[in-house]
Amino acid sequence: MNNEFVPKGEGLEIEYDRYDRTPTPDYPNAEAWWQKFCLSGFDELEKSGLKAKLLKELNNDAYLAMAVNHFVGKNYKTWLDKEGIEDLGGLTPRQCLSSDYGMKRLRMLFLTSH
């Protein structure tokens, strides 16, 4: 594994924080943007059969579960430990779950991938 990590405040989380300073009428802040984006996958998650497992893996974050289910699907366990996702700055998705800036990196990974 590459041991070089992009430090807090120097990665994709900056874009998430920047959005709070440049809101739009439809998305007054980054949190609203994230939630509206994820809610489009609500029904898909409910029908997937993965909801309980994803919630357990993702610290009960329902919005993140919707995004992971939609973009990753049944391969989520492998993806959580995937190294080399450039936008995560050297962290695996699972490592991102344990910090605020890591969560913002995960969110921006999904928000910018559609």
| Per-residue model confidence as pLDDT tens digits over 31-81 | 999 999 999 999 999 999 999 999 999 999 999 999 999 999 999 999 999
According to the model, what pLDDT value does residue 1 have? 46
According to the model, what pLDDT value does residue 68 have? 98
According to the model, what pLDDT value does residue 3 have? 64
Alpha-carbon separation of residue 62 from 36, 83, 90 (angstroms): 12, 23, 25
Sign, CA dihedral 64-68-70-71, equals positive
